[in-house]
Structure 1
Amino acid sequence: MNLESKYFYVLGIAVLAFLLAGCEPKEPTDLSDHSLIPHPAEITATGGRFQLNPSVTVRMADLSLHRVADYLIDRMASLKVVESGAADIALSLDANDEQLGAEGYQLKITESQILISANHPQGVFYGVQTLLQMIPLRQYESVELPTGVIRDYPRYAYRGSMLDVSRHFFGVEDVKRYIDFITTYKMNVLHLHLSDDQGWRIEIKSKPELTAIGAATEVGGGDGGFYTQQQYKEIVKYAANRFITIIPEIDIPGHTQAALASYAALNCDGKAGDLYTGTKVGFSTLCTDNEATYEFVDAVIQELATITPGKYIHIGGDESHATKKEDYIYFINRVQKIVSKYGKTLIGWDEVAQANIETESIVQQWNSAGNATLAAEKGNRIILSPATLAYMDMKYDTTSRIGYDWAALIEVDQAYSWDPDTINAMVPVELIFGIEAPLWTETVENMEDIEYLVFPRLPGYAEIGWSAQSIRNWETYRIRLAGHAPRFESEGIDYYRSPLVDWGMMDSIN
């Protein structure tokens, strides 16, 4: 072999070695390694990679997916919609899978495309939430995703949280931020506690004194506030675009001092009460044998029903200690008919089970297992919000800077490690409508306070409501929860760094 031949031979070997080195397979990827909350029903990893690039495209196969696509575009700023042909992300309603129901989805990631399919737009939206959890924040244009298939569907139909805006008032933008929190974790209900002793927070045009007087203050004596009906509609629309139902609560016949201070006729002595800025409960009641009370309730429910597209209105009914039992039962029976008259379904705290409530009414267990059992015997569906496990206004431990401890100290593991199906052995599983995690706000004054008590407990409540009990486990959950710390921090969430979670073990959401 002459010198020139040797040169090209050596050069060829070097080039071949370089090319072979560049073609060496990368380490296999595993879709199941991602810190997804709630945990999906089924994950099948295929070991490949999909590369998101700066010119990501999305195609929706049905116009009913428009708001889902709009949401995705809002989250992924560089995303472009294509009307036909291939797209990086394809959204479709061709799942044809009965097991997925109305809210389930299939997320399929291949090396060339991401396909999210479902039976209904809500399912596609939840598939989008799973996809977004897989992409590190602010890295939507350049990230590798593992290939595989996720099939997922919820355990319960009702997965909610409650925000008390009566004890302390929170404006529209704060409520929208709260909606964003629950959206991320596939919750589908926001229950707004709109009236209490300390403040009336929704405009009722036929009863203007409710906001002129009753909304003036809050716990501690600070300035109160209220939502105009237009602002309330704005909140409802914002939630609806995220497939969340707003359930308004007007708490009656107790927890009503703000109303009693606004209208003298609601008091049995015909004299207006004083505004209240303390935190005691159980001392107030509407006058249940006065027809003016039912005219008032009718007017309030009528206006509230008109501006609430969802099918539920919550009437409270808890801690009405100042109302005689027979008067309480009479009141609930009459109010139930008013709610039905305006085409809505009644929800009430568990005390309402003592009345002759109709089968379609829903009882929310917060305190009394006996009341929930009574409701189940009548065939009523049950929402589970046991105060000892699900109240997010409870302190984590004795060192928590805000919160109460009258029900329990609820650390992150306790918040997560309970099974709704077994919490009350006398309630059949088929009557459990779902769960709700309430946040009462006596000690909560601002958004930072909300975030501190809600995070990191809220994702766990969402998983209880969504994921099958058989795939839930605290030891694996706490690892996935740690993976969400960078997201909390990127979103500016002032979360409680529970010592039960190793927050430093993961640098990012995978």
Structure 2
Amino acid sequence: MSQPRPLPRLLGSLLLVTAAALSSAAAAGQATAASAERAGAVRPLGQIIPAPASVSPAGSPYTLTSATRIQTDATPEARAVGERLAEVLRPSTGYGLPVTTRPAPQSIRLRLSSAESALGEEGYRLKSAPGGVTITALRPAGLFHGVQTLRQLLPASVEADTPQRGPWQVAGGTITDSPRYGHRGAMLDVSRHFLTVDQVKRYIDHLALYKINKLHLHLSDDQGWRIAIDSWPRLTTYGGSTEVGGGPGGYYTKAQYREILRHASSHYMEVVPEIDMPGHTNAALASYAELNCDGVAPPLYTGTAVGFSSLCVPKQVTYDFVDDVIRELAALTPGRYIHIGGDEAHSTSREDYVAFMNKVQPIVAKYGKTVVGWHQLTGASPAKGALAQYWGLDGTGQAEKAQVAEAAKNGTGLILSPADRIYLDMKYNKDTELGLAWAGYVSVQRSYDWNPGTYLPGAPAAAIKGVEAPLWTETISRNEHIDHMAFPRLPGVAELGWSPAATHDWDTYKVRLAAQGPRLSALGIDYYRSPQVPWPAQ
């Protein structure tokens, strides 16, 4: 997927009001929200990422003080969201911020309400006034997303882990918000270079601020197998022992994988594990000779070429292997999906590819999961309910695009990950030290300036389930690498997935993105200062 290749909604009137408000704000203000903060002004309501569906500024701001309490419902979920908010705010403000179910004046209130069905599974309403801030949602995920909005409405220094100077104010008014798409994902390749549990958890923390709700983990590839499978132990002890360039590799024990899942769940993020097959399988083939058609295990691989490996489609042991892996992975994973890869199977004949997918998809269903595959899956017969993840390029692969669109017409859902738009491992420009360029250069504006709803010709709008930004790791192994390549492009992808199409405008977005610079710095994110964005002076 990352090497050179042959080649619930709100009323429309509210959306238009929001778009007009954002455009007016950009036209009227020469200074960014960040510079306004330095002058002591309150960040304008709605100057956040992703752009909210509806913004109604009104009245005086709310001020967080040492007397503030965080009042939640008695439910464990609301309490947990409140505790997480307190953990974020305490270090910078120095305030105690006790979490309580008792009413308190001028508090931050987190409320679940069955009367708020219009907000859907992830929507929320935030009301700010001098007497307090109230976040209301139908479901806990909505409360969590509302809290991320509250964080962004406070000064950027609230994200620091050391005491900072206030005042800590939130503009007055109401935000009513819910997502455009249910799938707003980020993929992390832990196979080309192994990334530790702490590195993955750190990425989850940063994704959640922008309301990303899916973490796709690419757990196996030619260069390494990263998840323990008890019935095939050499997958990790041998197949996981290396990485691109010949480094030490590594893998997750089942306990470590569960730790990642717990952290993601606490951030209302669903983990989608991927075992790529029938290609991208050299680590498995090297671990077990019987998975090869000739019965000979190839050597471990530390390069970056693709398309040379394949499971042996005719052998029954192949399906015993797949069944064991899916069974153990499904038992570990509470989420709905298992990703079976399916791309770049250049060493598998078309006939064998179709036969393989026809046998493997029912295995996924047998263990209670739904199939996700790269868009080449549409060249076989996608299972009922399956999702296809499209990673093609603008202006190329027209026959393949038509194939994907036809599958979408027949009920296959689509996740859009166009490589020349939102592959976060692509270079920004010719001077970018990290990353690749086989899909071209992907600037911050290019990654933002497209419409998922109209991107794939012939695909029904209802088939588009969302967007996902992959980060492949041929050149990436450290946190600063992740930071530099994901930020500031990742927030734009999050906005494409969350915000109404009517709010989409590069000129207003880049102003809001610039205001994120001090926040990213406060979070310790070493982001790329794109010249396309009017960042505030450091």
1:491 CA drift (Å):
1.7
Greater displacement, 298-307 / 443-452: 443-452
Q: Aligned partners of 1:85, 1:393: CA distance in 2, in Å?
A: 48
Equivalent in the alignment of 1:447: 479
1:59: which partner in 2? 71
Deviation at 1:61, TM superposition (A): 1.9
Q: CA deviation at 1:34?
A: 5.3
Q: Per the alignment, in what secondary structure is the counterpart of residue 161 of structure 1?
A: strand
1:233 and 2:258 equivalent? yes
When normalised by structure 2's length, the TM-score is: 0.87
Q: Distance in 1 between matches of 2:407 and 2:208?
A: 30
% identical aligned pairs: 48
CA positional deviation for 1:141: 6.8
3-state secondary structure, aligned to 1:181: helix
The answer as to 2:111 corresponding to 1:92 is: yes
How many residue pairs were aligned? 480
- CA-CA distance at 1:374 after TM superposition: 3.1
Deviation digits for residues 270-305 of structure 1, max 9, x if unmatched? Answer: 111110000000000000000000000000000000
- C-alpha contact (below 8 Å) 1:93/1:120 kept by paired residues: yes
The 5-angstrom pairing of residues 71-110 of structure 1 reads 71-77=84-90, 78-87=96-105, 88-94=107-113, 96-110=115-129
Corresponding residue of 1:9: none
Contact kept in structure 1, 2:409 and 2:463, CA below 8 Å = no
* Counterpart residue type for residue 299 of structure 1: D
- SS of the aligned residue for 1:76 comes to helix
- The offset of 1:314, in angstroms, is 0.2
Q: Measure the CA separation in 1 of the matches of 2:448 and 2:118.
A: 26
* Aligned partner of residue 436 in structure 1, secondary structure: strand
Q: Is the 8 A contact 1:76 1:140 kept in 2?
A: no
Paired letter, 2:265: A
Letter in 1 for 2:523: E
* Equivalence for 2:32: none
- Letter of the structure 2 residue corresponding to residue 84 of structure 1: R
Higher relative contact order (CA 8 A, sep 6+): 2
Task: Give the partner amino acid of 2:80.
Answer: R
The match for 1:252 among 268, 277, 288 is 277
**Aligned to 1:484, which of 492, 499, 516?**
516
Query: Residue 86 of structure 1: CA displacement?
Result: 2.3
2:81 aligned with 1:68, yes or no? yes
Decide whether the 8 Å contact of 1:54 with 1:141 is kept in 2.
Answer: no
State which drifts further: 82-91 or 316-325.
82-91
- Tell whether the 8 Å contact from 2:184 to 2:212 is kept in structure 1 after alignment: yes
- Of residues 323, 327, 336, the one that matches 1:311 is 336
Contact 1:54 1:142 in 2 (8 A): no
What residue is the counterpart of 1:459 in the other structure? 491
How many angstroms apart in 2 are the aligned matches of 1:272 and 1:46? 68
1:135 aligns with 2:154: yes
Give per-residue Cα distances to partners, 1:128-151, cap 9 Å, x unaligned: 000011112335974122110000
Instruction: Please state if 1:387 is matched with 2:419.
Output: yes
Residues in 1 aligned to 2:511 and 2:41: alpha-carbon distance in whole angstroms: 18
- Tell me, in whole angstroms, the C-alpha distance in 2 between the residues paired with 1:159 and 1:326: 34
Structure 2 residue runs of 5 or longer lacking an equivalent are 1-38, 91-95, 159-163, 393-399
Q: 1:411, 1:450 → 2: CA distance?
A: 16
Q: Are positions 1:158 and 2:176 aligned together?
A: no
Give the deviation of 1:33 after TM superposition. 5.1
Q: Is the Cα–Cα contact under 8 Å of residues 42 and 169 in structure 2 kept in the other structure?
A: no
**Residues 447 and 492, structure 2, Cα contact 8 Å, conserved in 1:** yes
SS of equivalent to 2:55: strand
Question: 1:287 maps to what in 2?
Answer: 312
Match of 2:354 in 1: 329
Which residue in the other structure is 2:450 paired with? 418
Q: Partners in 2 of 1:492 and 1:249 — Cα distance?
A: 29
1:207 corresponds to 2:232: yes
Hey, what's the Cα distance between the residues in 1 that align with 2:220 and 2:470?
15
Instruction: Indicate the larger mover: 431-440 or 74-83.
Output: 74-83
What displacement does 1:85 show? 2.1
Question: For residues 33 and 101 of structure 1, do their structure 2 counterparts lie closer, same or farther at Cα, with a shift above 3 Å needed?
Answer: closer
Deviates more, 1:159-168 or 1:482-491: 482-491
DSSP 3-state at the match of 1:475: helix
The residue aligned with 2:9 is none
CA distance in 2, matches of 1:58, 1:106: 17
Flag structure 1 segments of 5+ consecutive residues without an equivalent. 1-26
Query: 1:118 is matched with which residue?
Result: 137
**Contact preservation (8 Å) 2:43, 2:154:** no
**Aligned counterpart, 2:247:** 222
- Whether the 8 Å CA contact 1:31–1:148 is kept in 2: the answer is no
Whichever residue aligns with residue 131 of structure 2, its letter is S
Partner of 1:428: 460
Q: Report how far residue 97 of structure 1 moved.
A: 3.1
How many Å separate the matches in 2 of 1:127 and 1:86? 20
**Residue 29 of structure 2 aligns with which residue?**
none
Letter in 1 for 2:482: I
Is 1:50 the equivalent of 2:69?
no
Structure 1, residues 209-232: CA drift from partner, whole Å, max 9, x if none? 001110010001111000000000
Structure-2 change in CA distance of 1:483 and 1:29 (3 Å): closer
1:365 — aligned with what? 390
- Aligned in 2, Cα 1:453/1:243: closer, same or farther, shift over 3 Å? same
Instruction: Report the TM-score, using the length of structure 1 for normalisation.
Output: 0.92
Shift of 1:205: 0.8
Q: 2:526 aligns with which of 479, 484, 494?
A: 494
In structure 2, the residue matched to 1:41 is: 53
Change (3 A) 1:366 1:321: same
Deviation at 1:111, TM superposition (A): 1.0
Higher-Rg structure is: 1
